[in-house]
């Protein structure tokens, strides 16, 4: 019973966090929903490994990221908890600005998604956690990299996105001013 209470609490308080991480890994809405569901299942199965040695958020990030890294979608027809619960992916939100109304932001977002897709899984993990505003120490805890390694990685990734963005602008000329 205690396991159920703890799980319910974790799931309720961290759904947003889990969803965002999955979103960084999967562009496809159904893949993302399935990965979220899978992450919740892994959290249930691994609850006994949480011993307050690390922060609960770090533990959740680890389980979610590891699930995303090894996630293979098996059943395309299965409805997920996120669909059953009425949670909609960001693309389908009714309050979402219409793409045509904000083409520059949409263009940037598409560029960012392509940028993320090109990254190695560990780099993508580092970016996702950085954008989640985790400290260098927390990112190191989640990934198993050293803090200095994380700092170097993030710095390189920041440079990389700048270079890629410049290349993108030179290549297409769609957005002239940053």
| Contact positions vs other proteins (CB under 8 A) | 4, 7-8, 11-12, 15-20, 23-24, 37, 40-42, 44-46, 49-50, 59, 62-63, 65-67, 69-70, 72, 81, 84-90, 93, 96, 108-109, 111-112, 120-123, 125, 127, 130-133, 141-145, 154, 157-158, 161-162, 165, 178
**Min CB(2)–other proteins separation in Å:** 13
CA separation (Å) from 83 to 31, 36, 37, 79, 157? 12, 11, 10, 6, 33
Quote the CA–CA distance of 52 and 59 in Å, as a whole number: 9
Closest CA to 123 of 163, 57, 65: 65
The DSSP-derived string for 142-167 is HH---HHHHHHHHHHHHHHHHHHHHH
**Min CB(25)–other proteins separation in Å:** 11
**Min CB(138)–other proteins separation in Å:** 11
In the complex with other proteins, the residue whose CB is nearer, 16 or 173, is: 16
**Min CB(155)–other proteins separation in Å:** 10
**Min CB(125)–other proteins separation in Å:** 6
In the complex with other proteins, the residue whose CB is nearer, 151 or 157, is: 157
Question: Which residues contact residue 129 at a Cβ distance below 8 angstroms, ignoring those fewer than 6 apart?
Answer: 61, 65, 138, 139, 142, 143
Question: Which residues contact residue 125 at a Cβ distance below 8 angstroms, ignoring those fewer than 6 apart?
Answer: 65, 69, 142, 143
């Amino acid at each position: 019973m205690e396991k159920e209470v703890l799980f319910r609490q974790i799931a309720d308080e961290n759904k947003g966090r889990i969803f965002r991480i999955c979103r960084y890994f999967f562009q496809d809405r159904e893949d993302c929903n399935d990965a979220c569901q899978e992450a919740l299942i892994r959290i249930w199965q691994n609850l006994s490994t949480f011993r307050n040695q690390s922060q609960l958020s770090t533990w959740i990030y680890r389980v979610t990221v590891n699930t995303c890294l090894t996630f293979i979608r098996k059943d395309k027809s299965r409805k997920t908890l996120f669909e059953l619960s009425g949670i909609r992916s960001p693309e389908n939100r009714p309050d979402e600005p219409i793409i045509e109304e904000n083409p520059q932001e949409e263009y940037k977002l598409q560029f960012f998604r392509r940028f993320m897709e090109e990254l190695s899984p560990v780099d993508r993990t580092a970016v996702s956690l950085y954008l989640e505003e985790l400290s260098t120490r927390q990112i190191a805890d989640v990934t198993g990299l050293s803090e200095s390694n994380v700092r170097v990685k993030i710095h390189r990734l920041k440079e990389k996105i700048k270079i890629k963005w410049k290349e993108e602008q030179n290549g297409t000329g769609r957005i002239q001013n940053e």
